[in-house]
Amino acid sequence: EAEVAQSPRYKITEKSQAVAFWCDPISGHATLYWYRQILGQGPELLVQFQDESVVDDSQLPKDRFSAERLKGVDSTLKIQPAELGDSAMYLCASSLAVDRKKYFGAGTRLSVL
Partner 1 sequence: AQRVTQPEKLLSVFKGAPVELKCNYSYSGSPELFWYVQYSRQRLQLLLRHISRESIKGFTADLNKGETSFHLKKPFAQEEDSAMYYCALSGSSNTGKLIFGQGTTLQVKP
Residues that bind partner 1 (CB under 8 A): 3, 31, 33, 40-45, 48, 55-56, 91, 95, 97-107
The residue among 82 and 94 lying less far from partner 1, judged by its C-beta, is: 94
- Chain CA centroid to CA 22, Å: 7
CB 79 within 8 A of CB 64: yes
Task: Give dist(CA 53, CA 3) in Å, integer.
Answer: 22
The residue among 71 and 101 lying less far from partner 1, judged by its C-beta, is: 101
Minimum gap (Å) between residue 44 Cβ and partner 1: 7
The residue among 61 and 103 lying less far from partner 1, judged by its C-beta, is: 103
CA dist list (Å): 11 to 7, 46, 65, 85, 111: 9, 19, 16, 14, 6
Minimum gap (Å) between residue 98 Cβ and partner 1: 3
Minimum gap (Å) between residue 77 Cβ and partner 1: 17
